[in-house]
Amino acid sequence: MEPTWNTRTPKRIKNQDNRLIALTQASQVSNVIQLVDNDDNSIVNTGEHTAVNGSLFFSGANSENPNDTELWKSDGTPEGTVRVKDINPGSNASNPSHLTAIGSTVYFAANDGNGNKLWKSDGTDSGTVVAEDDNSRTFADPKGFAVIDSTLYFTTYDEDNLGELWKTDGSSSGTALIKAGIAGSPNSPRPTNELKAVGSELYFANYTDELGLELWKHDSESGNTGIVKDIAPGESYGIKNGSYPGRFTANGSTLYFVAENSTYAGELWKSDGTEAGTILVKDIRPGSAHSNMSNLTSIGSDIYFTADDGLKGTELWKSDGTEAGTILVKDIRPGSLSSSPNSLAAFGSTLYFRANDGSNGFELWTSDGTPKDTNLLKYIRLGSSS
Ligand SMILES: [Ca+2]
Ligand SMILES: [Ca+2]
Ligand SMILES: [Ca+2]
């Protein structure tokens, strides 16, 4: 069997019915490969995956021990499909998550039996270790996982439960605290789960008693960290209003995200990192109801997403960042009922997603952004949920 992926020609990999499959060409969805290991055991219970130097690292198990989810790697061949390390020894799973490749190293979170920590792996058993700084500090429950210039950024918390933003280049001396005391809400000192790198800048939501939960950024070049804009100014009942920014998506040098304030409920915003350049893209559902914006996916210079304008239900939209260029792609389930698009995935310049047009159930659709070429791909049953 030929290797089925490499980093130069990315293939669509997905978890279907808890089995890892590779779509060798997205336009030929029938051409799927079930991964097996050298003993012909199916790879099962797969979660995340990331490509490194022509190999796929993934969280999974084999059918012999289907619940022992650990870090695996595969070159697409049975003999090249191996467990990297039994991080939580024996039949207990370490459940690797947040797999993120930088060069030939994969960073991830895993539980060795003593809690979720930041790990790194070079693909060998002995080279799969807990990440530490100079003082042998390890990192509890790491989240975020964004990459700028071969450096990993992540959030964790200290012994007092207070959130922190860190970075690491893989060396203990290059592992450094960026900011202490970042919080995800008025009620929790732990940070939010989302970090997003856009160019040299790192975006995240941060709560302060002065301004509420708002959009912040860290500039990796200057080292400065601060608020981008107080999108929801003022206070209500003695508590500072927050805009609850999230669902961060990068497109070129622009951050797209969903935020709310007293003028607009949850709607699409964008930012160039400046206060003046942080603006509402479009009030898709005017008034106090939010547009239920979700599934933000970048293709070319556009952002695709799902939203409900209050008239057509939850359908597929796209935006070029301008109000006039923020439009419904197609009312796939005509009228006020929703086609509820989900599982949006970019493949080249084409969007793949699942939707229900009201007569075929949930099936695979493709779109090039025009109504004419937004179509049911074929009658392909995608798992048991179809
Ligand atoms: Ca284990
Ligand atoms: Ca505020
Ligand atoms: Ca509709």
pTM of the model: 0.89
What residues have their beta carbon closer than 5 A to ion ligand 2?
Answer: 211-212, 230, 232, 241
Nearest ligand to the CA atom of 339: 3
CA of 296 to the centre of ligand 3 (A): 19
pLDDT digits (tens, 9 = 90+) for 103-150: 999 999 999 999 999 999 999 999 999 999 999 999 999 999 999 999
At 13, the pLDDT band (50, 70, 90 cuts) reads low
Nearest ligand to the CA atom of 211: 2
Nearest ligand to the CA atom of 335: 3
Q: What are all long-range contacts of 248-253, with beta carbons under 8 Å and residues at least 24 apart?
A: 248/194, 248/195, 248/196, 248/203, 249/196, 249/296, 249/297, 249/298, 249/303, 250/196, 250/197, 250/198, 250/298, 251/298, 251/301, 251/302, 251/303, 251/321, 252/301, 253/198, 253/199
- CA distances 384 to 16, 24, 333, Å, are 9, 22, 21
pLDDT digits (tens, 9 = 90+) for 19-65: 555 544 333 333 456 788 888 898 887 778 888 887 889 999 999 99
What residues have their beta carbon closer than 5 A to ion ligand 1?
Answer: 68, 86, 88
The whole-angstrom separation of Cα 232 and Cα 185 is 14
Closest C-alpha among 324, 202, 292, 212 to residue 255: 202
The whole-angstrom separation of Cα 68 and Cα 62 is 8
Nearest ligand to the CA atom of 233: 2
CA of 64 to the centre of ligand 1 (A): 13
Confidence (pLDDT) at 6: 34
CA of 82 to the centre of ligand 1 (A): 14
Q: Are 225 and 216 in contact (CB under 8 A)?
A: yes
CA of 23 to the centre of ligand 1 (A): 29
CA of 99 to the centre of ligand 1 (A): 17
Mean pLDDT of 75-79: 86
CA of 324 to the centre of ligand 2 (A): 28
CA of 313 to the centre of ligand 3 (A): 5
Confidence (pLDDT) at 264: 93
Nearest ligand to the CA atom of 62: 1
pLDDT digits (tens, 9 = 90+) for 313-349: 999 999 999 999 999 999 999 999 999 999 898 888 9
CA of 63 to the centre of ligand 1 (A): 14
pLDDT digits (tens, 9 = 90+) for 283-309: 999 988 999 999 999 999 999 999 999
